[in-house]
């Protein structure tokens, strides 16, 4: 049986030199690179085929996007709260340091503006 295998495989033409190993490694590397670039091209073509909404959904799913969005939202809410605090300082209440909700601040501001308009109309 060993003889049959030897006859089937002619080892006389096979050389095992370091260059052959290097060539095989380079060929393997090129194959892997072409596979990777093929995947990249497929991914890009898949991206092109996606709807605008789907691309937006996928972009929003990234950690970088979520972190940036959370930061923007935090800044927006902080500015919103500062604006309410400034408005609150302008409204007369008893006691002056009474804690008011945002809706109470808005309602009180509406009433105060109406009162000021009424005072101006009398003069």
* pLDDT surpassing 60 at residue 68: yes
Q: Write the CATH number of the domain with boundaries 32-122.
A: 4.10.280
> What is residue 27's three-state secondary structure?
helix
Handedness of CA 57, 58, 63, 67 (dihedral sign): negative
Query: Taking Cα atoms as reference points, which of 101, 111, 53 lies closest to residue 81?
Result: 101
* pLDDT surpassing 80 at residue 103: yes
Report the predicted TM-score, pTM, of the whole model to 2 decimal places. Answer: 0.51
Residue percentage of the chain with pLDDT more than 90: 40
Residues 6+ apart with CB under 8 A from 116: none
Confidence of residue 10 (pLDDT cuts 50, 70, 90): very low
Q: Where are the domains of the chain?
A: 32-122
């Amino acid at each position: 049986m060993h003889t049959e295998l030897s006859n089937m495989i002619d080892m006389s033409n096979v050389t095992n030199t370091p260059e052959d190993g290097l060539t095989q490694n380079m060929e393997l590397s090129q194959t892997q690179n072409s596979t990777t670039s093929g995947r990249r091209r497929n991914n890009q073509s898949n991206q092109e085929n996606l709807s605008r909404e789907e691309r937006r959904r996928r972009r929003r799913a990234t950690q970088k996007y979520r972190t940036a969005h959370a930061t923007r939202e935090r800044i927006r809410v902080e500015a919103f709260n500062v604006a309410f605090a400034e408005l609150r300082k302008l409204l007369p209440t008893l006691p002056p340091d009474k804690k008011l909700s945002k809706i109470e601040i808005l309602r009180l501001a509406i009433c105060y503006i109406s009162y000021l308009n009424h005072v101006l109309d009398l003069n």
